[in-house]
Structure 1
Amino acid sequence: MSLTEELQTSCSATWNAVTQHQFCRELSDGTLADSRMAAYLVQDYTFLDNFVRLAASAIAHAPTLQDSIPLAQFLAVVTGPENTYFHRSFEALAVTEQDWKEPELWPATQGFQAIMTEARLSGSYSRMIAVLVVAEWSYLEWATPFHPAPETLPFYLAEWITLHAGPEFEGLVAYLRGQLEAAWPTLDAEEKEAVTDIFHRTVSLEKAFFDTALTP
């Protein structure tokens, strides 16, 4: 069992609750209410700034140029096609500019903002990558069974699945997991404990975020 598999297994109940969440099932079969998807996307969009800063910091702390390239390429997707997807979806779901620019943040959203900032300011490449591993790997796992998305789904549901599944996204997740696994043997006991802790807390925040997204 690889290091990332061990980390996943060590919080398997929460991990499975995320990757098999009712929110994801309803999104994927088209039964999710538009109001729920709109609220979810508004909150998720607030992560973009902190996510870009976290990923950029991880790129800056990567051991070599080669280690940094896949994440740099992914940033281009996040700030390009994914950013455009959000704006198209807001328009389709009748979300006003004020609504997505100045939302009232959920506690889970605030927690995610805080943990991304914590990882970025830690100066620890392994902690930064651990947060990114959870964020991307958990989405790959829930989205993959529903990929390709049915053509009957509205684009704001179908494209959210497409953005988080398929060979390119699988490659990104494999790269992130590989980065954490390569760094692990170089870490002392204290840092290994810190990485494990931030991995577990990020998984818990993913569950809290989906739980809140289903709340009427």
Structure 2
Amino acid sequence: MTRSRRLLDACAPALDRALEMRFVREVADGTVGDAAYADYLEIEAAFVETAARLHGLAAWDAPGWTAIGRNARAAYALVTGQADYFEAARAAWPVPARLDRDAARGAGGLSRYALDAAREGGYPAVMTVLFAAETLYLTWCSRAHREGRVRPGPIADWVALHADEAFRAGVDALAREVDGLPETVPDERLERWFTGMLDAEIAFHDAVYA
């Protein structure tokens, strides 16, 4: 069994808990409100910036050319396709974001957690927290795209972006990086980073309802 598979199996309860988030359920069944999604666009755009920084750090600290390329391509996708999405979605959305200070701080915990983990654990931590976040998004967006009643327009576009083959390939690449992490980094530490990231994702998405 690969190391990434062991990690997913060990963290399955935390992933299942994250998949039951109100935001995930409401996007899938088409009931997410305009105000909640406006706030989501605000906080998710900020986290995409953090993710680009994490991939840049990972490219610097990568163990070889293949990993450098994987992280560089991921950073490029974030600063091009995903950045373009936010520009278009915010322009098209019928209401502006109205996050209060407490909600914004709660949402910012996701970036704080990921960056703190990166400072603690370097490349292994970056790969693990990104693998957690992207596995969550691939799982719930694939399900919503296949089985849900997602509202057409920017919401459906966002879900489709995280259910397509390019995104799946990115998650597979993260899994391979986790597989290659040195055994000197114990499984228990990977599990702590992975589940901690999922807990931060829950608080992040719940902030749009605060």
Counterpart of 1:143, as a letter, is: C
The change in CA–CA distance for 1:188 and 1:168 in structure 2 (over 3 A counts) is: closer
Using the size of structure 1 for normalisation, the TM-score is 0.84
Counterpart of 1:106, as a letter, is: A
CA-based RMSD: 2.6
Structure 2 equivalent of residue 24 of structure 1 = 24
Structure 2 equivalent of residue 46 of structure 1 = 46
Structure 2 unmatched ranges of 5 or more: none
CA distance in 2 between counterparts of 1:152 and 1:207 reads: 20
Distance apart, 1:140 and its partner CA: 0.2
Structure 2 equivalent of residue 153 of structure 1 = 151
The change in CA–CA distance for 1:184 and 1:50 in structure 2 (over 3 A counts) is: same
Q: Are the counterparts in 2 of residues 19 and 139 from structure 1 also a CA contact under 8 Å?
A: no
CA distance in 2 between counterparts of 1:164 and 1:53 reads: 19
Give 1:167's match in structure 2, choosing from 133, 158, 165. 165
SS in 1 for 2:114: helix
Moved more, 64-73 or 22-31: 22-31
CA distance in 2 between counterparts of 1:167 and 1:93 reads: 27
Structure 1 unmatched ranges of 5 or more: none
Distance apart, 1:30 and its partner CA: 2.1
Q: Are the counterparts in 2 of residues 149 and 158 from structure 1 also a CA contact under 8 Å?
A: no
Moved more, 58-67 or 152-161: 152-161
Where does 1:1-216 land on structure 2 (aligned, <5 Å)? 1-94=1-94, 104=101, 105-122=103-120, 124-147=122-145, 153-185=151-183, 187-189=184-186, 192-213=187-208, 215=209
CA distance in 1 between counterparts of 2:8 and 2:95 reads: 36
SS in 2 for 1:147: helix
* Length, aligned pairs only: 209
SS in 2 for 1:53: helix
Distance apart, 1:197 and its partner CA: 1.6
Using the size of structure 2 for normalisation, the TM-score is 0.86
Distance apart, 1:123 and its partner CA: 5.8
Q: Are the counterparts in 1 of residues 35 and 95 from structure 2 also a CA contact under 8 Å?
A: no
The change in CA–CA distance for 1:149 and 1:39 in structure 2 (over 3 A counts) is: farther
SS in 1 for 2:63: coil
The change in CA–CA distance for 1:7 and 1:152 in structure 2 (over 3 A counts) is: closer
CA distance in 2 between counterparts of 1:145 and 1:165 reads: 8
CA distance in 2 between counterparts of 1:164 and 1:124 reads: 26
- Identical-pair percentage: 24
Could you list the per-position Cα deviations for residues 98-126 of structure 1 after superposition, in whole angstroms to 9, with x for gaps in the alignment?
x59x9735344222121222133336211
